[in-house]
């Protein structure tokens, strides 16, 4: 039976297997998607076999389909129920019994990366800012971040063709295109990604998110600019690491097990960039995410992408403020600002 990339939801399989010369679009026999590149499920077996090294038989565990959902964000399509996911795995592995058995993850004993990060950021914020005692393993961190590399082909495949930036107008005067970029360094205040005095260019994947990020009041008029970013940029995608990271690029058992253990750590790094921060504590609360972005920049990447905390889109922070080209600027009026209350 034919399956499509929507069933599994893995970026690596989409690029290297589904969208390959000779493959055709059709109807998926698992999730029902139409007009997607499809392949016979059995052709994915070689890609999926190494994943079994991350798990061990356990009568009190979970089916592989549920573990793959939890650990690798697979089968996230709305039509992919647990039963349909089991059926797909049975066809991939050519083993119905395997799809029905229960498993538990294999864990390596050792200090959790989450614990190390938590201690490290506390020290940065409240003890030693520039010469911390707690040191992250830079090569290990760089290894995991490499798996989150995001290029123009990726965001175009995700349906993002333009990026956006907004500014609140003063005195009813529209901002021109040359005023819609990053502030000059002498006016750059601290942000989620940048320390004060070091400007980055913040852009959003849609106009609503861009306007939401500047916290306008109802009735205010804003200028919203469209931007195109350069095609050769490499961005670290921290918006949804569990969905972005692909286990199919790795083959060694120890590396796969370690990756599965550290996805939670990568998610926490993404949370550092998206968590709500109050203005009066921002100077301190932004320090961990600023350190992280500085590390990403040091490793030669062009920016970071993260989930917006106020909109439904994603944001990118570009380290080189000239890596995007401004296009049209439109005037918009904020008709309503919504408020939601938590417990």
Classify residue 242 by burial, with Cβ atoms within 10 Å: 0-12, 13-18, 19+.
Answer: middle
Cα(157)–Cα(10) distance, integer angstroms: 12
Query: The tokens of 45 are what?
Result: 């077996």
For 181, half-sphere exposure in the C-beta direction (CA atoms, 13 angstrom radius) is 18
Burial (0-12, 13-18, 19+ Cβ within 10 Å), 267: middle
Task: Give the end-to-end CA distance of the chain in Å, rounded to a whole number.
Answer: 47
Q: List b or e across 215-239, with b for residues whose CB sees 16 or more CB atoms inside 10 angstroms.
A: ebeeebbbbbbbbebeeebebbbbb
Whole-number Å distance between alpha carbons of 329 and 156? 22
Q: Which residues of the chain have pLDDT under 70?
A: 108-111, 157, 251-254
Q: What is the pLDDT of residue 248?
A: 87
Phi, psi of 67 (to 5 degrees): -65, -40
Strands (E), 140-269: 149-150, 163-168, 201-204, 221-229, 235-237
Our CA dihedral for 135, 140, 141, 143, rounded to 10 degrees, sits at 160
What local confidence, expressed as pLDDT, does residue 110 receive?
Answer: 57
Q: What is the DSSP letter of 60?
A: E
The continuous run of DSSP H or E covering 317 comes out as strand 314-318
**155-190 burial string, b = 16+ CB within 10 Å, else e?**
beeeebeebbbbbebeeeeebeeeebbbeeeeebeb
Cα-based distances in Å from 158 to 9, 131, 152: 12, 40, 10
- Burial (Cβ within 10 Å: 0-12, 13-18, ≥19) of residue 64: buried
pLDDT given for residue 327 in this prediction: 96
Q: Which tokens sit at 47?
A: 């890609």
pLDDT of residue 5: 87
pLDDT given for residue 318 in this prediction: 97
For residue 257, the model assigns a pLDDT of: 84
Determine the Cα–Cα distance for residues 301 and 66; give it in Å rounded to an integer: 34
pLDDT value of position 298 = 96
* pLDDT tens, position by position, 287-327: 999 999 999 999 999 999 999 989 899 999 999 999 999 99
78-83-84-90 Cα dihedral, nearest 10 degrees: 150
Q: What is the pLDDT of residue 261?
A: 83
pTM: 0.87
- Which position has the token pair 């000779």? 22
């Amino acid at each position: 039976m034919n399956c499509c990339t929507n069933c599994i939801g893995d970026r690596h399989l989409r690029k290297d297997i589904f969208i390959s010369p000779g493959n055709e679009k059709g109807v998926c026999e698992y999730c029902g998607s139409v007009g997607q590149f499809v392949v016979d499920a059995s052709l994915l077996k070689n890609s999926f076999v190494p994943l079994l090294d991350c798990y061990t038989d356990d009568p009190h565990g979970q089916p592989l389909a549920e573990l793959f959902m939890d650990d690798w964000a697979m089968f996230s399509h709305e039509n992919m129920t647990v039963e349909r996911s089991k059926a797909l795995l049975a066809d991939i592995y050519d083993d119905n019994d395997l799809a029905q058995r229960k498993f538990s993850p294999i864990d390596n004993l050792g200090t959790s990366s989450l614990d190390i990060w938590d201690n490290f950021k506390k020290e940065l914020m409240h003890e030693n800012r520039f010469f911390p005692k707690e040191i992250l393993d830079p090569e290990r961190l760089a290894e995991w971040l490499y798996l989150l590399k995001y290029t123009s082909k990726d965001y175009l495949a995700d349906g993002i063709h333009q990026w956006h930036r907004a500014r609140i107008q003063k005195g009813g005067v529209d901002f021109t295109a040359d005023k819609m970029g990053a502030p000059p360094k002498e006016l750059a205040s601290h942000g989620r990604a940048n320390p004060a005095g070091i400007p980055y260019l913040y852009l959003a994947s849609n106009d609503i998110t861009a306007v939401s990020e500047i916290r306008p009041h109802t009735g205010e008029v804003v200028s919203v600019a469209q931007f195109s970013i350069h095609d050769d940029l490499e961005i670290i995608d921290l918006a949804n690491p569990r969905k972005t990271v692909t286990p199919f690029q790795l083959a060694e058992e120890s590396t796969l097990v370690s990756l599965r253990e550290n996805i939670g750590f990568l998610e926490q790094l993404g949370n550092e960039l998206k968590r709500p921060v109050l203005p009066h504590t921002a100077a301190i609360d932004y320090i961990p995410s600023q350190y992280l972005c500085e590390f990403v920049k040091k490793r030669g990447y062009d920016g970071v992408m993260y989930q917006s905390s106020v909109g439904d889109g994603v944001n990118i922070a570009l380290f080189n403020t000239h890596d995007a080209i401004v296009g049209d600027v439109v005037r918009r009026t904020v008709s309503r600002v919504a408020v939601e209350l938590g417990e």
